[in-house]
Amino acid sequence: MTDSQNIVNLLKELVHIPSPSGFAHKAVAHVGQFLEKNGVDYTITNKGAIIGTIKGIDDSKHRMLTAHVDTLGAMVKEVKSSGRLSLSMIGGYYWNTVEGEYCTIHTSSGKEITGTVLMHETAGHVYKGMNELKRDEKHMEVRVDGVFTSKEDALKAGISVGDFVSFSPRFEETESGFIKSRHLDDKASVAILMQIIETIKQQKINLPYTTHFLISNNEEIGYGGNSSIPAETVEYLAVDMGAIGDGQATDEFTVSICAKDSSGPYHLGLRNQLVRLAEENGIEYKVDIYPYYSSDASAAIKAGYDIVHGLIGPGIDASHAFERTHIQSLLHTANLILAYLQSSMNREHA
């Protein structure tokens, strides 16, 4: 059994560390400090991902688990004559999901300047029909919290094209156990893996196989950290959000086990093993298909790795927008991972 409240505490810390893809170094460093604290050896790849390793009884066959610490975000595309900023997206989302959101511009000098993502035509008393305008790169901009009346004012303040822009998480834990925040994709899973690592070390659990924990930093733009999979790796389990919506089995209270996503089916034998472990340990789960989704595990398969791959995760509502899950989903996901890590490798056919 894992500590669900500690997962929430770890998650709260993580979501408040800005880490859009390409700018995740502070979040990676935070994970590194956590691994050091728990006595786990780790390496940082040339791409900036981090891999913690716990040796197992069998060192000839390895397992790898992954979650990604990078998030959706943006980059300054243009400093306008008004001193406001136009943006270029980082990751796949729709402009309407960040309209009205507070943000931070991370300048190249290290200075941080706040702002708000708005339609240029937001003023209802000025722009008739503004509600009918398309939310897109042309109409969306950042109203910067500075005394800027011109492009020159913004440039003098240190803002320039290419500066990263992060969105405020607005984290909240409700009395009923819901966790509301941006960036639950995939920091909820990172927090779960951190809790798992802490549990293994504190309870001195002997893992049957050497296990790597890859925290990738570029998943939202498609390539994760898969260039650094150790050659001994046989099984690869991605821990990422379960997508909720019409026609989906996944909910906010169970662990979601993915059977197939846009990349194709996940390994049947590993999926069956995860279902069996859930049933044997009283872990509530849903098996689901994610139609518009791919993971670091499927990216590894596409890269040509000869591995057994799987995907599980907590159910996340309103993915790539203002997300929500429940503490029970975090707990069931963590308990399934812990049961999996202590089980023998599956040898069922694909």
Whether 95 and 135 have beta carbons less than 8 Å apart is answered as: yes
Set 132, 173, 175, 219: catalytic member: 219
Residues 244 and 319: beta-carbon distance below 8 Å: yes
- Distance, in Å, from the CA atom of 174 to the CA atom of 166, rounded to the nearest integer, reads 24
Active site residue 121: no
Active centre residues (catalytic): 219
